[in-house]
Amino acid sequence: MTGIVIAIDGPAGTGKSTVAREVARRMRLAYFDTGATYRVGTLWCLREGVDLGNQDDVAAMVATMNVELILNPSNPAIVLEGEDVSRLIRSDTVALQVSKVATNLEARRILGQWQRDVIESERVGGYSEGRGVVAEGRDITTIIAPDADVRVLMTADEEVRVARRAGEGADVATVREAVLGRDRQDATVVEFHTAADGVVTVDTTDLTIDEAVRAVLTLAERVS
């Protein structure tokens, strides 16, 4: 027997990260934010002085960075070269630049294979001891884990998404550009607004976090 894989994708501000973490916590699964791989790649390139417009150099850098993923849903972390950079990868500086890495097709291929390897390792062992993983990201239900046991596209009204992110204490104008700007840019390389065949849409516009979590748990119960 192998563990369950729950894949959640969708645009920024839909609540997918919060929901994915809570589902993983309740089911005692690993939690994997695949978007963090692009963010840490961006941070690494910025620190090393790599021109994010040079696609070959960016791809080479993300292929060689030394990163440890902590997949505990209660305390997930990203460790770069021995340093916990979990907060730094959420900075405005990274948020406004990350699409340059995420839309780099070679970097995306390299990071995508890493993501698949992490998911597979959690199906048979890893943090979850083989119970499985909740993985979330913009292409997780279609490109990275199209055979996941549960596939969910999480959506929400655009203004609600911006308001949620702005409510976290950030500047509204910066949030709008980071959220909607990245959506526009990333949409050039991956579809995350429309559910693919077999993917269940969960609109969180009028849902509480607990209601969204219960919706995903119900889907998981059907395949367990």
Position 206 pLDDT exceeds 60: yes
Q: CA angle 218-222-223, nearest 5°?
A: 125
81: how many CB neighbours lie within 10 A of its CB?
Answer: 11
**What mean pLDDT, rounded, does the chain reach?**
90
Distance CA 198, CA 214 (A): 19
Find which of 1-5, 12-16, 42-46 is predicted with most confidence, using mean pLDDT. 42-46
pLDDT of residue 187: 58
pTM exceeds 0.85: yes
The binding site for ATP consists of: 10-18
Phi, psi (rounded to 5 degrees) for 202 = -120, 110
The CATH T-level fold of domain 4-217 is Rossmann fold (3.40.50)
Highest mean pLDDT among 155-159, 196-200, 209-213: 209-213
Binding residues: 10-18
Q: 200 falls in which pLDDT band (50, 70, 90)?
A: very high
Residue with tokens 């969960």: 202
Domain ranges within the chain, ordered by starting residue: 4-217
pLDDT at 87 > cutoff 80: yes
Give the residue, 110 or 159, on which the prediction is more confident: 110
